[in-house]
Amino acid sequence: MRGPISVALVAGVLAALGPMSAATAADNEYLDSDPRPGSTVELEPSRVTIAFTEDVPVDSTTIVVRDSAGKIVTNRDHYVEANNIYANLPYPLPSGVYRVDYRALDDGVPFGGSFEFAWDTEREALGLSQWRTASKIPPILALPGDDELLAAEKTPQETASTPTTTAPSDTPTAPTADDTDADGLSWWWLAIPFAVLLAATLWWFVARRRRTAS
């Protein structure tokens, strides 16, 4: 019996993990990048590349790289290939800490993040910080159509949060069958037949005793 039991246990575990794997794979998200978040690169990078778990749409994906002074060094030029997005860096690249901001779209929901990498400097770089939903899109990553995404995000919440009220009516309503005194009415109708039957039984009993006595 151990063989069938073991097979059943494995099947049960796989069945339980199946929905979890599907739920995990449902969202497109950041997978990896080059340079890595918070890293100090030893070789001068020629571009910044970000990989996602799924393919990303070209018109809803962007990446911006800025230096420590906040100046954009990529001229907002970027390229999308399947699940990768990258932006070329100028050459030679001055030493310093560079900030990378990116965004993409997952089933109509914008998501993205930011991180830093250091080149030819001892300064520390910040790690990865991520966000999701239209209300959290940073201004540096704004794209045409963001107003529609934000409106679509707010509409279901506003609809759900709006209470529905019913105006009171001044017109009295007629009582229904449930509103009547059901107990009193039912007992009266049940008591009448029993009273008649009881009276008839007593009359028959008294009459029979009289005939017997005579």
Domains in the chain with CATH codes: 27-154 (2.60.40.1220)
> CA 156 to CA 162: how far, in whole Å?
10
113 neighbors 129 (Cβ within 8 angstroms): yes
What six digits make up the tokens of 42?
Answer: 């030893």
Any idea how long the chain is?
Answer: 214
pLDDT of 5 strictly over 50? no
157 neighbors 145 (Cβ within 8 angstroms): no
Task: Please report the DSSP string for 83-111 in residue order.
Answer: TEEEEEPPSSPPSEEEEEEEEEEETTEEE
Instruction: Give the model's confidence band at 213: pLDDT under 50 very low, under 70 low, under 90 confident, else very high.
Output: low
Annotate 105-120 with three-state secondary structure.
Answer: EECCEEEEEEEEEEEC
Q: What is the CA radius of gyration of the chain?
A: 40
57 neighbors 105 (Cβ within 8 angstroms): yes
- pLDDT, tens digit, 9 for 90 and up, residues 53-92: 999 999 999 999 999 999 999 987 899 999 999 999 999 9
Question: Strand 30-34 to strand 62-66: parallel, antiparallel, or no bridges (unpaired)?
Answer: unpaired
Q: Which residue has the tokens 């907002």?
A: 76
- pLDDT, tens digit, 9 for 90 and up, residues 98-114: 999 999 999 999 999 99
Which residues on neighbouring strands pair with residue 130, listed in sequence order?
113
What six digits make up the tokens of 166?
Answer: 């019913």
What six digits make up the tokens of 196?
Answer: 């008649």
Which residues on neighbouring strands pair with residue 111, listed in sequence order?
104, 132
pLDDT of 125 strictly over 70? yes
Q: Which helix or strand (DSSP H or E) is residue 183 part of?
A: helix 182-213
The pTM of this model reads: 0.63
Q: In terms of C-beta density within 10 A (0-12 exposed, 13-18 middle, 19 or more buried), how is residue 118 classed?
A: buried
What six digits make up the tokens of 18?
Answer: 């199946």
